[in-house]
Amino acid sequence: MVSTFLIVGLRHDIDTVYGLRRGLGKIVAIEEKHGVRSTFFVRIDVIRTELDCSVLRDLKDRDWEVGLHLINTVNDASFVSPSYELERLKTLVNTEIHGVTPCGSTIGFRGDITWEIMDSLGLDYMQAGKKPGVKTKSFAFPPHLSFDIHYVRNFGEREGYQRFRADLWHKLEQDRQATVLVHPEWFVRTVLSHGLMKIPLTLLRKGLMNRVYDEFVGEFKSKVEFKKYVDIC
């Protein structure tokens, strides 16, 4: 029986076209198998074609959530504005957007200024790596557990999963609630290495997230309530 007192929010950041086109479907298949739903935070620049748009529209029509993965985290004038990013995503996916997270690969998270910019978008919630030092109008989620690029990358699939599992239970015992981040690209290529070593490790299916994510959701679905972010805040 699922405990209504323990809640885990599932988060996926779509940072690349590769992740959108190759990895997203693998996550959706696992979550659909277990009857859970999650939130996908999407950079607007990875949506390149009408097919990309239709994939995301189908996702939200099937009760997954689409949120904004903000590129311009400091309101730099050399990029399109944060408000434009938000409106563009709404238009492309034809949906309301309830939440935002900062993307780390262009400008990155810059503390209170990023919190202030995300808050200025007037959404229901936000999440970043650290709790804000400024008061926000939107709900600010505490930091997430990064299942792939922290646990599995640093410790391997088995030890990484056991460490993740222990930390997740500790978080749930303390707060009764936790959020978990996994990136779609690591369902089609290894998370264990950088550079040329990625090729053989991927071919050997070492360090792919499919098996451990399936194990995680399968193990925890009878012990916690998995939720989209919008259903928690």
Q: Which domains does the chain carry? A: 38-143 (3.20.20.370)
For position 2, what pLDDT does the model report?
A: 47
Model pLDDT, residue 1: 42
- pLDDT recorded at residue 130: 86
Dihedral through CA 224, CA 132, CA 230, CA 47, nearest 10? -110
From the number of C-beta atoms within 10 Å of its C-beta (0-12, 13-18, 19+), residue 132 rates as middle
Q: What is the pLDDT of residues 29-40, one digit of tens each?
A: 999 999 999 999
State the Cα–Cα distance between residues 89 and 27, nearest whole angstrom. 21
Residue 100, strand partner residues: 68, 126
Which pLDDT value is given to residue 4?
A: 55
Extract the residue ranges of the chain whose pLDDT is less than 70.
1-4
pLDDT of the residue at 196: 81
pLDDT tens digit string along 63-97? 999 999 999 999 999 999 999 999 999 999 999 99
Q: How would you class 46 by CB atoms within 10 Å of its CB: exposed for 0-12, middle for 13-18, buried for 19 or more?
A: middle
C-alpha to C-alpha distances, 61 to 55, 76, 80, nearest whole angstrom: 10, 33, 28
Tell me, what's the pLDDT at 129? 87
Whole-model pTM: value is 0.96
Residue 194 has what pLDDT?
Answer: 81
107 in Cβ contact with 75 (< 8 Å): no
